[in-house]
Structure 1
Amino acid sequence: MILLRVLILFLVLLLLPDWYIYRSYIRRLKNNKMRRLYWLPSVVLLAGLLVFIAAGEALHGCLGIYLVVALCLSVPKAVFALLSLFLKGAGRLFRIQIPHGWISSFAAFATFAYVLFGAVEGKEFFQVKEVEFVSPDLPEAFDGYRILQLSDIHSGSWKGNGEAIRRAVEICNQQKADVIVFTGDLVNSRASELPEFMPLLSDLKADDGVFSIVGNHDYGTYVHWNSDAEREANFQKLIAEEKQMGWDVLLNEHRILRRGNDSIALVGVENSGNPPFPDYADLPRALKGTEGLFKVLLSHDPTHWRRSVLPETDIQLMLSGHTHDMQVSVFGFSASQFVYPEHRGMYLEEGRGLYVNVGLGFVLFPFRLGSWPEITVITLRR
């Protein structure tokens, strides 16, 4: 299904600009061989996509590289075509001569360089986001308490690149947070993705420890299993691996964090998503025993906030991930906002907050642009 959607996207992003560029510029060339060669990259890309569709899961390991190459070719062409059309129209409207070909070419090359940066460096362009959450409900002893949030590591996507994870862990430890929380999607699908990175992730340190929850990918939903028992065994293995790293996995439960005579509750639920994403959260169970406490909820999917957390609880702050901000944001705009009303950053409603971390890792596309990999430090204030 995903590949069919990509095929449709190609028809719009690749072939339509190609058709326009060929009619407006390429067919003027006198060299017939050059005119025919113009179509070669697009033909190869489309043929490659058909191979991926036919091969199914067998070639998924190469799909990310293929998609990045396709983006590097198709997006600059789309920018060229749109800008060229606009400049031609402006020239005719104002009856002036505009060098539309040169200007559009410059914009296309700049776009190519930016997209290439996203593929080569963007996925490792780790950014520390410092935010504050203010609540009069916060106990005095926790004023200034620092929570470091990580989300969506997708360890299978980092295979063979432990150095990047090591640098991210080093940046995290430099923040001297009081507690570290991870809000789900540690793997793409299989627990076997994690052992390569366990020694590195075990080095995450905070005075009050490292706590984690699970996300939709952690259930192994996106690969074929021979039985439900095999899928469940994979899930339990992942939980065991997290515990081996020293992480405290919260599965519809909570922990009490203390400072002197004051305390707050750190609550963690399993994934609670809208279909087709799984919903295994049991929020009442997780909250039992936290009455009257300031609460920080870890819940992977931000849609949980409006569906259940705001209307049914008194939780002051929820931390989520999941959206990745679709890994692309241009001038602050991301298509993720059409899918998730709360897709990136802090959201406040009547003094209660939701923070959506756009993730440290990536899935499918080995690529980030604008929505850089994020390490969040949230300081609690009274």
Structure 2
Amino acid sequence: MSRWIIVIIIFSVIIFAVEFYAFQAIKAITKNKIIRGIWILSAIVIYGYFIYVLYVTPSGAGQTNAFQLVSGFMLTILIPKLLIVAFMFGEDIFRVFKKGLSWISPGATADFEGRRIFLSKIALGLAAIPFASFIYGIVQGRYNFKVLKYQLTFEDLPDAFNGFKITQISDIHSGSFTNKEKIQYGVDLINEQETDLMLFTGDLVNNKADEMDDWIDMFKTLHAPYGKFSVLGNHDYGDYVEWDTPADKLKNFQAVKDVHPKIGFELLLDEHRYIEKDGQKLALIGVENWGKGFNQAGDLQKASENVSKEDFKILMTHDPSHWEFQVKEDDFNYQLTLSGHTHGLQMGIEIPGFFRWSPSQYIYKQWAGLYQEFGRFINVNRGFGYHAFPGRVGIWPEVTVIELKKGVKKA
């Protein structure tokens, strides 16, 4: 308990310091008590609501919608204020310099007050950019579904699958959903792609199976003529909540697995299926979650039993670190791997063909999009839903469409 008290005290001191320095910018540019009061009151309301949610949320409940929402508001006000702090703390250093200079030459520092006002305006102007972005991300960005299309060429692709199209979705996180109309739009967008095969790469729920109860009828309308298949993600195991008994956790885990056939997906648990077309076939392999630093239940060798090395293989594995550490250099040759998990951290900057950045890249080497090494591909889907932060900023929810093309072997 004493450890948590120390953590709370440190956190409170940091918050106070951030708020104090950020408030200096407002003080510098206006003496209007109403504006100053709104600034202070909004912070008090958000921090107060955060404390209230922590107090009323059961310790074993995990990240509830209320917790996600208030955490989103915390980030929305704190990140812009950190930008302001960077300016105002630097200005305080100048103020110390100003004080020392005034002892030498009182008339030499007359323009420092104007500099402070100027810097405060710049700081507030820059802070408005992430503030507006986070507000948009919470209100609209989390539903800003994008269809990303890729055409991948393989020399060893069976001829019958030339032009075969796959829709990949990932990270539904149904426990975060609040708007049925928006989610229905996303589901309809998936169906509009009219592809041959549909693959879901894990994290159906945040923690508990009943999070899908209100969404089963919607998601079971997804269709693909060559089938719908799925694997589990780290959140599907129920590892992030406190269960009364181990039996309750196992019961929930089984219930999560039982949801997949209810929405028409065949769940692959360290196993494979052959997709056949015109007398030819490709191997679809699905493993349980395997991730560096996460649950490592997946068994790739077991899933690949009775699959030939010469078969064209599509591997479904939730966490892209599996590809990085076990798959990409495997001599068994998994030509195409589909993953999710990272969400691209739900925030970043992507200008196609020019620039990509997200904090996620400091955690995962393959954090979003398509990658190729050793002649093998992985696509890391940015996720259909959202988790923790109730929004998306620059990293939009994704539906991936991959068209397989037959390549000509080089002489």
Which of the five TM-score ranges fits, normalised by the shorter chain?
0.7 to 0.9
Identity across matched positions, percent: 34
- Aligned in 2, Cα 1:6/1:110: closer, same or farther, shift over 3 Å? farther
* Among 171, 178, 182, the residue aligned to 1:164: 182
Please show how residues 257-276 of structure 1 align to structure 2 within 5 Å.
Answer: 257-275=275-293
Q: Pick from 59, 71, 77: which aligns with 2:75?
A: 71
How far off is 1:337 after superposition?
A: 0.9
CA contact (8 A) 1:79 1:111 kept: no
Residue correspondences, number: 375
Structure 2 letter corresponding to 1:67: S
| Partner residue of 2:142 out of 123, 126, 143 | 123
Q: Could you tell me whether the CA contact under 8 Å between 2:29 and 2:121 is conserved in 1?
A: no
- List runs of 5+ in structure 2 lacking aligned partners: 98-110, 351-355
Q: Does the CA-based 8 Å contact 2:84-2:127 persist in structure 1?
A: yes
Structure 1 residue 30: deviation in Å?
Answer: 5.8
Which range moves more in the overlay, 51-60 or 105-114?
51-60
C-alpha displacement of 1:127: 0.4
Q: Is the 8 A contact 1:27 1:35 kept in 2?
A: no
- Residue 133 of structure 1 corresponds to 152
Question: Is it true that 1:370 corresponds to 2:394 in the alignment?
Answer: yes
Corresponding residue of 1:318: 337
Match in the other structure for 1:283: 300
- Partners in 1 of 2:280 and 2:29 — Cα distance? 77
* Partner in structure 2 of residue 184 of structure 1: 202
Partner amino acid for 1:168?
Answer: G
After TM superposition, the structure 1 = structure 2 runs for residues 158-307 of structure 1, keeping only pairs within 5 Å, are 158-159=177-178, 161-275=179-293, 277-291=294-308, 292-307=310-325
CA distance in 1, matches of 2:283, 2:207: 30
Match of 2:375 among 345, 351, 375: 351
SS of equivalent residue, structure 2 residue 58: helix
Show structure 1 runs of 5+ residues with no match: none
Q: Distance in 1 between matches of 2:38 and 2:142?
A: 33
Query: Any conservation in 2 of the 1:184–1:215 contact (CA below 8 Å)?
Result: yes
CA shift, 1:306, in A, is: 2.1
Cα deviation, residue 111, structure 1: 3.0
For 1:180 and 1:125, locate their aligned partners in 2 and report how far apart those are by CA, in whole Å.
Answer: 21
- Give the C-alpha shift of residue 378 in structure 1: 1.0
C-alpha change, 1:77 and 1:309, in structure 2 (3 Å) is: same
What is the CA distance between 1:9 and its match in structure 2?
7.7
Q: Taking structure 2 as the reference length, what is the TM-score of the superposition?
A: 0.82
Q: CA separation in 1, counterparts of 2:347 and 2:160?
A: 39
Q: What residue identity is the alignment partner of 2:402?
A: I
SS across alignment from 1:300: coil
Deviation at 1:149, TM superposition (A): 0.3
Query: Could you tell me which residue of structure 2 aligns to residue 18 of structure 1?
Result: 19
The answer on whether the counterparts of 1:88 and 1:100 sit within 8 Å (CA) in structure 2 is no
Aligned to 1:114: 133
Contact 1:135–1:351 (Cα < 8 Å) also in 2: no
Q: CA distance change for structure 1 residues 30 and 176 in 2, over 3 Å: closer, same or farther? A: closer
CA RMSD of aligned residues (A): 3.2
Distance 2:387 2:9 in 1: 18
CA separation of 1:5 and 1:220: change in aligned 2, threshold 3 A = farther
Q: Distance in 2 between matches of 1:165 and 1:35?
A: 39
